[in-house]
Structure formats: structure tokens, C-alpha cells
A = this chain, B = another copy of it.
Amino acid sequence: MGYSKTDELAINTIRTLAVDATLEANSGHPGAPMGLAPVSHVLFNKFMTFNPKNPDWVNRDRFVLSNGHGCMLQYALIHLFGYNVTLDDLKNFRQVDSITPGHPEAHDTPGIEVTTGPLGQGFANAVGLAIAQAHTAAVFNKPGFDLINNYTYMIFGDGCAMEGIASEAASTAGHLQLGNLIAIYDDNHISIDGDTKCAFTEDVLKRFESYGWHTQHVENGDSDLEGIEAAIAKAKEVKDKPSVIKLTTTIGFGSKLQGTGGVHGNPLKADDAKQVKEKFGFDPEKTFQVPQEVYDMYHKHAAEGAAAEEEWNKLFEKYGTEHKDLHADLSRRLTGDLPEGWVSKLPTYKPSDPAIASRKLSESVLEAIHDVIPELLSGSADLTGSNNTRWKNAVDFQPPSLGIGEWSGRYLRYGVREHAMAAIMNGLSAYGTIIPAGGTFLNFVSYAAGAVRLSSLSHQRVIYVATHDSIGLGEDGPTHQPIETLAHFRALPNMMVWRPADGNETSAAYYMALTSKETPSILALTRQNLPQLEGSTIEKAIKGGYVALENEKADVTLVSTGSEVSLCLEAVKTLKDQGLTARVVSLPCVEVFDAQDKDYRLSVIPDGIPTLSVEVMSTLGWEKYSHEQFGLNRFGASGPYKEVYKKFEFTPEGIAKRAKLTVDFYKDVKPLRSPLNRAFTQLI
């Protein structure tokens, strides 16, 4: 306790930096940083331990700004503490190729833990970071070695509080009794539509109580630094519940328009900016002013953080002498590399092996590798028995007091909360010691689209186990049968969409998902059984596409994925009876196939003969790999899956019919180029 003039000066420095940066950019959100400067000053200086010279130190306290539009708050703090973000970077706020974009992006800016801005995401990411801490601590901490004991702090606003994803994540955190999670609710009564009373009149703290959170209210968030400090200290004492502190603040504190929507999403007017500076004792004519004593104060705290890391490094070294294997394990995890020899555990299959659903093949992979990849943490959004995401001896991640699991458990029961699951997995991955895999039906990955997008944008190694991947799920019907889903996620940059056709391809999908450190994956898996293919191997499949059946002098190439590959192989026989020769390409992951060299790709989908794609959902995008497309551009049907396939002509005969039409149609075209031959390459 005990705050000085320098504290006040530091708070006002953050406020004026936010004013200047948004004014310079003529864009951005000054209001939240101005309102949240006091709490963040207290939080970062009195409670948080971190080393700006090594933003990756594993035991640092995590900070998440869920209302990411207020990111000038973070950029100002990061700069003041001495992360590699300069005053020039602040001046380049919201400019092309700067490291200070309009919303904080974890991949590009040191000190930013997760990518936020889309509302509610950061809230759920923070729950993931807190789960990761609890789990990692349970695995690695030993008597005398309290290695992993960081807290996760998170600020969220009214917007986040309204989003369903935050509700899902808050309910999860309460259930899991995450005492290491402390959230500050910026209760400023303003959202873009103005006063929150127009849409948001619920009792937020009562809601969090219902989830099992500890709640407090600090009524004067603008200047009651002691009150803020006491509340955070109290929250830290509560070990068996996450904490939320409702902090009533004045948005745009200091502006003539403070407390109104006018300071939410627009820079202050020039004269208002001047009066703010005068009010706070700054030169109204100057911009981006940082008093030296503010730098001094913040750098001193940074130095304490650096010293804390140094202490930790010593402790960790000593840990290595007493717990050699655990030390090696944690060290390895932090590099992102997998343990040596793990690949040999991947199941392989022969054509004579029985037909198995790829969701079951996925289960076999998890069963085979979970021992050798201890950082793998699986789970499901309440579809465990359908997604087959749980290995036999798995222990649930649960608060031990519930009697149904342990903190060290590696299986997460996400509940029916797909969106939070995805964002929690982003947080788990961002922590640095865990590779998360989570299951739902492919159709309901769409519920999580907002977070899946951020898996891609923020380069998280997250694995979506998406079963029941087509009309092949049968009786559940059109409400559950994906049509648009693969097209959606194939259009998403930095996402691998895998749709394996058999066991070897399923192992290949896991190989790529696990070894791609900066790319998430969606594994689209069947409910129905699939035969083991003659021509498949892991080695071929990890190229994303390969020739599953070659035929010299073929008339047509059939290119397909997943459950339709074996149908295409059947269709080859039907076509043969009709005097046509076909070859078959399996393309389990177009993104990985696209990354192969052109010679290889053209050997798979060659010039000279037409190509027909076969996939039992939207044809959108298949024109890139084929001359003609057989798909399903309508909703499916409820019934036994073989009858549903038949209804839509996904049979050897239905494929053969279209292959013949394709051959006939392209007979006169010279030269008939592979669709892979393009006039120019796309920008990346």
C-alpha cells in the first residue's frame, strides 16, 4: 500500500499515451485504456512477476486483455516495462506492418499472450491459461520445487460479459475451481450502443456467484488504488475458486466526454486531448511524453522480474539434479519438439485389416501415443463416447475435491460448450507446455468458428477432433450433417483440414497435426466404418495428397477424400466394365498438398486427362483440384447412412456415371491442363 505522485504520474502517462496513439492513428479506442490505467498499474507493479527481456519465461504471470480493442493499454504497459516495443512502435499504432496492430496479436508482439479483440475470446483463453498452469504445476512441482505457480490475470468488459463464449468459459472455470484465475470486470456501463442499460441489465456478480466464483466490487476504479490492491490481494487468498472483481470505472477518464460512448471507439478531439494533458500535468503541446521517473519505476519492477527469473532458473537447474526426467520433459516441452521415437508408436494398417470408422482410428492413435507424448491433453465437448477422444486409462482433469479426477489429469470434460472449448484450447496451447486436442461433431465446430479462426491467426497447435463428418452420420439428419463446413475451414488461412480415408491416413493426419508447431488442425472423421486402402501409407499421406490407385493411360482421375475414396476405388471397377480406365487420388489435406512442389502435385493430378472430385458435401473449392465436381450442394437427410448415400447417388454407379460425363465433355479440349496449372501464384 501507499501510493505516491509517481504512481499517479505513471497512470496518467498510460492515459496520455493512449490519447496520443489513437489521435496519431486517427483510429482506435482511447476510452478503455484511460479507464483501466489505474488497475493495470497496480496489477502489473504490485502483483505480476515477468521479465520483459524474456517474454517466454514459463512461470511468468499471464495477463489477458479480453476487451482487446483497448490494446493501447497493453502496448503502453509493454513499452514502459521495457519489452521490445519502442515509442516509435506506439507512434505506428494501427499502421501497416507495425507490431502494434488494431487489436493485440500474440504472434507478432512481445508480451502479448493471446490474440484478442473478438469479444469474449480472451476471457476463455485466460481460463485455458489457468488450466494449463494448474495442470503443469501438478505434473512438475515437487516438494521444495514450487516451479510453476504463476497466476493468470484477465480484464474483461461489458462486451465480453455479454458474449456466450465468456459465459461458457466462466461456468467451466467455476466448475474447475481455478483459484489461480483472477478476472477484473471493467464495469463502465458503456458499450458501442451507449449505456449498457439498453441491453444488459443483469446482475453480473450474482451470475458469477452462480458459477462458483468468488466476487468482489471496487466502487471507485478511477482512483481507489488501495481498494484495488486490497481486492486483488484478497482474490489471491481464495485458493479454491476463480475470482472476479467488479471494478466500476469511468470510460475515457479525464476526457471532456468521459463516461460516454463518445470516448469508446474514436480518438479524442485535438482540444480535448490538450485539456486531458493539462489536467494531468503534461505539456499540452507535446505528444508521447513519458516522464523519466515513470520509466524508472517500471524498469525497476522489470528488473525485479528478471531477477525472479534468474532465481527460477537456478531452482530449475537444481530440479534437474533431483528430478532428471521431469526436468528433461519440461525443457523439451518448452522447445515445442516432440519426444524422440514417438513416430514409431503411430499405428499402421494393411489392406487386410478390418474396416474401422476413422473416429475409432483416431482413438487408436491417441491410445498409442498418449504415453510417449505427455503434453497431449485431450477432451470433448460432452461427446466423449462419440468422439472417441479418451484413452482407456485417462484420468480426468478435475479439482481433486470432486473425487472424479486430478489436476494432473489429461482429459478435459468441456461440457456442451464448443466455443469455449476452442478458445480454452487456444489458451492451453499458448501456455507453452501442452498440446490440446478437443472433440465435437464436425458440424458443431461451426459453433466455435470465432475461436477456431484465432487458433489459425495466432498460430496455435490445437487439434480439433471433428467426428461425424458428413451425411454418413445417418439418422441424426440435416441438423447435424455438415455441408458447408469443410469449405469454410479450407478457406481459413493457416488451418489444416484433414479428412483421412483409412488408418494410415489417420495416423498421417496426427503426425502432421502434432509436428506443425504453428498450425492448428481439424481432423474430420467418420462415424461409419472405412476399409483399409491398398495404396495408403503414412509417408504418402503426409504429403496431403497422393495416388491411391495408378492406372497407365487412364481416361480420368477421380480425386476424393475420406469415406468417398473407397467408393471411388469401387467406381473404378464399374468404369472398367464400361470400357473406361480411371485412376484414384486421395487428397486428405489440400493445404498440405498445396505446399508440395509443383512436379509432385502434377504427378498426382496430371495434365492431359480430366479430373472429377468426389466429396459428399459442398463442391465449393473443389474446382481448384478438378475439372468437374460431384458433391452435395443441398442439406442431407435423416436415415440409415447407406440409404442416405444412395439417395444422393454416392455409389460406385453414381460416381461412374459422372466420370463418364466428365470424360466425354473434355474430349475436345486441347491442351487439357491439370487444374493445378495456373497463370500466376497467389500472394502469401
For A670, what are the chain B residues with a Cβ–Cβ distance below 8 Å? Answer: 669-670
The reply to whether B483 and A192 contact each other, CB–CB distance below 8 Å, is: no
The reply to whether B105 and A479 contact each other, CB–CB distance below 8 Å, is: yes
A414 at the interface (CB under 8 A from B): yes
A634 at the interface (CB under 8 A from B): yes
The reply to whether B480 and A491 contact each other, CB–CB distance below 8 Å, is: no
A597 at the interface (CB under 8 A from B): no
A328 at the interface (CB under 8 A from B): no
The reply to whether A479 and B639 contact each other, CB–CB distance below 8 Å, is: no
Bound CA span A627–B494, Å: 25
For A198, what are the chain B residues with a Cβ–Cβ distance below 8 Å? Answer: 396, 398, 404, 413
Stretch at the interface among A208-216, A235-243, A278-286, A426-434: A208-216
For A671, what are the chain B residues with a Cβ–Cβ distance below 8 Å? Answer: 668-669
For A494, what are the chain B residues with a Cβ–Cβ distance below 8 Å? Answer: 634-635
Instruction: Say how far A172's CB is from chain B's closest CB, in angstroms.
Output: 7
A20 at the interface (CB under 8 A from B): no
Interface residues of A in 356-402 (CB under 8 A from B): 380, 382-386, 396, 398, 402
For A628, what are the chain B residues with a Cβ–Cβ distance below 8 Å? Answer: 678-680
**In the complex, which residue of chain B has the Cβ closest to the Cβ of A201?**
B175
Bound CA span A396–B479, Å: 33
- Among B94, B168, B483, B662, contact of A491 (Cβ-Cβ < 8 Å): B483
- Among B115, B635, B668, B680, contact of A658 (Cβ-Cβ < 8 Å): B680
A97 at the interface (CB under 8 A from B): yes
For A493, what are the chain B residues with a Cβ–Cβ distance below 8 Å? Answer: 483-484, 618, 633-635
Bound CA span A197–B398, Å: 11
A464 at the interface (CB under 8 A from B): no
The reply to whether A199 and B680 contact each other, CB–CB distance below 8 Å, is: no
The reply to whether A644 and B380 contact each other, CB–CB distance below 8 Å, is: no
For A680, what are the chain B residues with a Cβ–Cβ distance below 8 Å? Answer: 628, 658, 661-662, 665
The reply to whether B192 and A383 contact each other, CB–CB distance below 8 Å, is: yes
Bound CA span A342–B166, Å: 42
Stretch at the interface among A45-53, A308-316, A446-454: A446-454
**In the complex, which residue of chain B has the Cβ closest to the Cβ of A452?**
B446
The reply to whether B638 and A96 contact each other, CB–CB distance below 8 Å, is: yes
A637 at the interface (CB under 8 A from B): yes
A159 at the interface (CB under 8 A from B): yes
Stretch at the interface among A224-232, A416-424, A574-582: A416-424
Q: A18-29, CB under 8 A of B: which get 1 and which 0?
A: 000000010110
For A684, what are the chain B residues with a Cβ–Cβ distance below 8 Å? Answer: 633-634
Q: A87-99, CB under 8 A of B: which get 1 and which 0?
A: 0000000111110
For A119, what are the chain B residues with a Cβ–Cβ distance below 8 Å? Answer: 416
- Among B96, B103, B475, contact of A643 (Cβ-Cβ < 8 Å): B96
For A68, what are the chain B residues with a Cβ–Cβ distance below 8 Å? Answer: 479
The reply to whether B661 and A479 contact each other, CB–CB distance below 8 Å, is: no
Instruction: Say how far A482's CB is from chain B's closest CB, in angstroms.
Output: 9
Bound CA span A193–B164, Å: 22
For A384, what are the chain B residues with a Cβ–Cβ distance below 8 Å? Answer: 192-193
Residues of A within 8 A of B (CB): 25, 27-28, 68, 94-98, 101-103, 105, 115-120, 158-160, 162-168, 171-172, 174-175, 191-193, 197-204, 206-207, 209-212, 380, 382-386, 396, 398, 402, 404, 413-417, 419-420, 443-444, 446-447, 449-450, 453-454, 456-457, 474-480, 483-484, 487-494, 618-621, 623-624, 627-629, 631-635, 637-640, 643-644, 647-649, 658, 661-662, 664-666, 668-671, 673, 675, 678-680, 682-684
Cβ contacts A to B, 6 pairs, < 8 Å: A96-B638, A193-B413, A207-B207, A483-B493, A649-B683, A661-B679
